[in-house]
Amino acid sequence: MRQPSNFEQLLDIIDADVQHHFMDAAGIHTSYLEAGAGPPLVLLHGAGGGAVTWYKAIGPLSRHFRVIVFDRPGYGESEKPSAPYDKPFNTNWLLQAIKNLGLQRFSLVGNSEGGAVGIHFTLNHPEYLDKLILVGSAGLGDDWDKAIILKMALYKLLPSPKWGDLLGRNVMQNPDDAHPAWHEYSIDVLKKKGGRRAFFQGRGRAVITFTDEELRAVQVPTLLIWGEDEAFFPVSHGERAARLIPGARMEVIPGAGHLPFMEKPEIFCHLVAKFLTPV
CATH number at 88 reads 3.40.50.1820
DSSP bridge partners of 227:
253
Strand 66-70 relative to strand 106-111: parallel, antiparallel, unpaired? Answer: unpaired
| Residues in Cβ contact with 35 at an 8 Å cutoff, skipping those fewer than 6 apart | 14, 16, 17, 18, 19, 58, 59, 62, 66, 67
Contact 111, 137 (CB under 8 A): yes
Helices in 19-71 by DSSP H: which ranges? 55-62
Residue 1 lies in a domain: no
Question: What DSSP string runs through 113-175?
Answer: HHHHHHHHHHHH-GGGEEEEEEES-SSS-S-S-THHHHHHHHHHHS-SHHHHHHHHTTT-S-G
Compute the distance between CA of residue 23 and CA of residue 205 in angstroms, rounded to an integer.
Answer: 26
Q: In Å, what is the CA distance from 92 to each residue of 133, 136, 199?
A: 20, 23, 18
SS3 of 19, please?
A: strand
Q: What is the Cα–Cα distance from 122 to 197, expressed in whole angstroms?
A: 25
Q: Which secondary-structure segment (H or E) carries 186?
A: helix 180-191
**Residue 61 domain boundaries:** 6-276
Question: Is 173 a domain residue?
Answer: yes
Task: Give the pLDDT confidence of 234-256 residue by residue, as tens digits.
Answer: 999 999 999 999 999 999 999 99
What are phi and psi for residue 35, nearest 5 degrees?
A: -155, 145
**For the chain, how far is it from start to end, CA to CA, in angstroms?**
50
Q: Which residues, 6+ apart, have CB-to-CB distance to 47 below 8 Å?
A: 75, 112, 113, 152, 198, 199, 206, 207
Q: How does pLDDT run along the chain (279 residues), one tens digit per residue?
A: 778 899 999 999 999 999 999 999 999 999 999 999 999 999 999 998 999 999 999 999 999 999 999 999 999 999 999 999 999 999 999 999 999 999 999 999 999 999 999 999 999 999 999 999 999 999 999 887 767 777 777 777 767 666 556 555 666 666 667 888 988 899 899 899 999 999 889 988 999 999 999 999 999 999 999 999 988 889 999 999 999 999 999 999 999 999 999 999 999 999 999 999 976
The total number of structural domains in the chain stands at 1
In a domain, 234, yes or no: yes
Q: Which helix (H) or strand (E) holds 42?
A: strand 40-44
H or E segment to which residue 91 belongs: helix 87-100
Measured CA to CA, the distance from residue 33 to residue 11 in angstroms comes to: 9
Q: Indicate whether 241 belongs to any domain.
A: yes
Strand partners, 135: 111, 225
Whether residue 32 is contained in a domain is answered as yes
* Residue 125 covered by a domain: yes
